A and B are shown apart, each in its own frame.
Chain A
Amino acid sequence: MSIQVKNLKHIYEKGMPTESVALEGVSFEVEDGELLGIIGHTGSGKSTLLQHLNGLLKPDEGTIVIGGVDITAPGVSMVEIRKRIGLVFQYPEYQLFEETVAKDVAFGPRNLGLADSEIEERVREALELVGLDYEDMKDRSPFELSGGQKRRVAIAGVIAMRPEVLILDEPTAGLDPKAHKDVLKMIEDVHGKTGNITVLVSHNMADIANLSDKVLVIDSGRVVTMGTPEEVFSKRDELSSVGLDLPPITCLTEALRERGFKIRETILSVEDAADEIAEYLKAGGKAEC
């Protein structure tokens, strides 16, 4: 299972005076089991791209091949695409609507026309994958849960479809620090257990740096760069020209390097930074400042 996006172009309101090019010449590949982080500021085309990946939008040019199937080809079954590619929108808890958690999570699988026993099994599996206890949660109203729990229930609703690709659009936006950490951990767990391709869009550079195998940077509807977190976050000037920052810890270690610290370039975690700084200082290293 892999994804190949080739030369994607999308124009909004084509032929109208307000016509605007949202994506142009977008090409990239995601390999089996990878976690792809996507960054870009608001209006860069990230959301338009996500909506192409699950067939909500059709490109004006280019192709998207997922697991050998070109989902942009005419006549391709949308139901089939949606079954294989699960998209979790921003603030997905706004879409909770059922009386109980179990019914809400079951909504998607039920629409697939599965047998009751199969539906129950999937609901149980999905709730447990997102870190919620099935017995404890199933009969509760989704509306009496905390913000972080609601979001997990909403994500479970997508996971219960057993998608081969899971796409999450800013899954931690608006959560408090604890819920933020819990949801990130959940994404790692789900990715680890299913081994599926996961696509994560976030404004939080530290999260992107820590979770992603590869990072895709988008600006004005085009791919700016793509690579491992180390590769991408070593391009500070390029990122800054498209309005993106380095992760906070990387900002700090780069500032130290500018002041003469001989430490590794593009450090992405606090623990690595502490190792490098401590080693440098203990070896008698002094800044020339």
Chain B
Amino acid sequence: MMDSIIKIENLIFEYRKEEEEQPVKAINNISLEVEKGSFTAILGKNGSGKSTLAKNLNGLLLPTGGTVYVNGYNTADEEHIWDVRQSAGMVFQNPDNQLVSAIVEDDVAFGPENLGIEPAEIRRRVDKALEDVNMGPFKGKSPHLLSGGQKQRIAIAGVVAMKPRCIIFDEPTAMLDPKGRKEIMSIIKELHEEGITVVLITHFMDEAVNADRVIIMHQGEIFMDGTPAEVFGQGEKVKSVNLDVPMAVELARALRQRGIEVPEKIIGTEEMVEYLCQYK
């Protein structure tokens, strides 16, 4: 049996557009478990329901139907909403919308302070969290003087300081330049290696290649679910819901058309180079 941190049972989420009679089903009957310590990437085009799903994972949205358990707590149980939020932290797309203080370390302390933690422990947590995201030297700086990638790291530190078991990243690199993207992806990998469960929502296929598991959402339902190799190995199916495939998968398709056999499990650049070097 899977030791899961998140358990979703028959989740339905509906919202009503103004004036319209019929509610829209953003999530249509999803059941899903996320294993403790795993790294799951969720992909899907805009409107596929992936961000709505993410917001249901820490009680920012509550189910219309079905149940979501985080670390054993039902997200709809008001008494435990703070336990839910402390178990599953969330990092959003735009760092500018997540920073609240004029000084970096105050910003990181905001979450733990709200948990009523004693000052000495807050100090320890803030220092550790800033170290985790390689922003220690910036603790006395003002966030608005930082680059996008640095701001996003501060936002992540603010979540890390809450000591969550799981962090949900909702397109954390969408507004960053390539350097910022690399910084954030390496932080996410490190957090995962330290044992934090990672759920990463992204439009970048090369980020999903790093995950243990890839879930593709389409029209509020789970369209594909498997290891990156299992999912991206079916390139045509991925493309049928208007998503891209990693470049190596695209090259594999083009090579097959030219009579060069390439196994479906080859989805990364390095694997492709190795494979072609061994090709006979």
Give B171's nearest chain A residue, CB to CB. Answer: A174
Of the listed stretches B118-126, B224-232, B253-261, name the one at the interface; the rest are far from the partner chain. B253-261
Give the chain B neighbours of A252 by CB distance below 8 A: 247-248, 251, 269, 272-273
Any B CB within 8 A of the CB of A211: no
Are A248 and B277 within 8 A (Cβ)?
no
Evaluate whether A249 and B251 lie within 8 angstroms (CB atoms) in the complex, with A255-B269, A274-B257, A287-B276 already known. yes
B169-224 interface (Cβ within 8 A of A): 174-175, 177-180, 203, 205-206
Give B46's nearest chain A residue, CB to CB. Answer: A176
B123-154 interface (Cβ within 8 A of A): 147-148
> Complex: how many Å from CA A42 to CA B279?
40
Evaluate whether A261 and B276 lie within 8 angstroms (CB atoms) in the complex, with A147-B46, A174-B174, A177-B242 already known. yes
Evaluate whether A273 and B45 lie within 8 angstroms (CB atoms) in the complex, with A252-B272, A281-B276 already known. no
Q: B45 contacts which of A178, A270, A287 (Cβ < 8 Å)?
A: A178
A247-263 interface (Cβ within 8 A of B): 248-249, 251-252, 255-256, 259-261
Any B CB within 8 A of the CB of A271: yes
Are A270 and B147 within 8 A (Cβ)?
no
Give B147's nearest chain A residue, CB to CB. Answer: A42
Chain A nearest CB from B273 CB (Å) reads 5
Any A CB within 8 A of the CB of B66: no
Any B CB within 8 A of the CB of A195: no
Are A177 and B147 within 8 A (Cβ)?
no
Any B CB within 8 A of the CB of A243: yes
Are A173 and B175 within 8 A (Cβ)?
yes
Give the chain B neighbours of A42 by CB distance below 8 A: 147-148, 177, 179-180
Give the chain B neighbours of A174 by CB distance below 8 A: 93, 174-175
Give the chain B neighbours of A275 by CB distance below 8 A: 258
Q: B251 contacts which of A148, A259, A261, A270 (Cβ < 8 Å)?
A: A270
Are A259 and B277 within 8 A (Cβ)?
yes
A177-195 interface (Cβ within 8 A of B): 177-180
Chain A nearest CB from B219 CB (Å) reads 14
User: By CB atoms of chain B within 10 A, which of A259, A270, A282 has the most?
Assistant: A270
Are A282 and B259 within 8 A (Cβ)?
yes
Are B277 and A251 within 8 A (Cβ)?
no
Any A CB within 8 A of the CB of B65: no
Report the interface size class on chain B. 35 or more
Any B CB within 8 A of the CB of A83: no
Give the chain A neighbours of B47 by CB distance below 8 A: 146
B232-280 interface (Cβ within 8 A of A): 242-244, 247-248, 250-251, 254-255, 257-260, 269-270, 272-273, 276-277, 279-280
Any B CB within 8 A of the CB of A120: no
Any B CB within 8 A of the CB of A137: no
Are A41 and B177 within 8 A (Cβ)?
yes
> Complex: how many Å from CA A178 to CA B243?
6
Give B247's nearest chain A residue, CB to CB. Answer: A248
User: By CB atoms of chain A within 10 A, which of B147, B243, B272, B276 has the most?
Assistant: B276
Are B247 and A177 within 8 A (Cβ)?
no
Q: A277 contacts which of B175, B250, B276 (Cβ < 8 Å)?
A: B276
Any B CB within 8 A of the CB of A278: yes
Give the chain A neighbours of B273 by CB distance below 8 A: 252, 255-256, 259
Are A245 and B174 within 8 A (Cβ)?
no
Q: B179 contacts which of A41, A206, A256, A281 (Cβ < 8 Å)?
A: A41
> Complex: how many Å from CA A176 to CA B46?
6
Evaluate whether A273 and B178 lie within 8 angstroms (CB atoms) in the complex, with A43-B147, A179-B46 already known. no
A74-94 interface (Cβ within 8 A of B): none
Q: A281 contacts which of B248, B250, B279 (Cβ < 8 Å)?
A: B279
Give the chain B neighbours of A16 by CB distance below 8 A: none
Are B247 and A274 within 8 A (Cβ)?
no
Are B254 and A274 within 8 A (Cβ)?
yes
Give B148's nearest chain A residue, CB to CB. Answer: A42
> Complex: how many Å from CA A174 to CA B204?
10
Any B CB within 8 A of the CB of A52: no
Chain A nearest CB from B53 CB (Å) reads 15
> Complex: how many Å from CA A176 to CA B49?
13
Give the chain A neighbours of B180 by CB distance below 8 A: 42
Any B CB within 8 A of the CB of A289: yes
Give the chain B neighbours of A179 by CB distance below 8 A: 45-46
9 interchain pairs (CB within 8 A)? A41-B178, A173-B174, A174-B174, A179-B46, A248-B247, A271-B254, A277-B255, A281-B279, A289-B277
In the complex, given contacts A42-B148, A146-B46, what are 6 additional A-B residue pairs having Cβ atoms less than 8 angstroms apart? A42-B180, A148-B46, A177-B244, A271-B254, A274-B251, A281-B260
Q: Which residues of A contact B (CB under 8 A)?
A: 41-43, 146-148, 173-180, 203, 206, 243-245, 248-249, 251-252, 255-256, 259-261, 270-271, 273-275, 277-278, 281-282, 286-287, 289
Task: Name the 10 nearest CB pairs between A and B, nearest first.
Answer: A274-B254, A278-B258, A178-B242, A177-B244, A289-B277, A248-B247, A287-B277, A42-B177, A176-B46, A176-B45
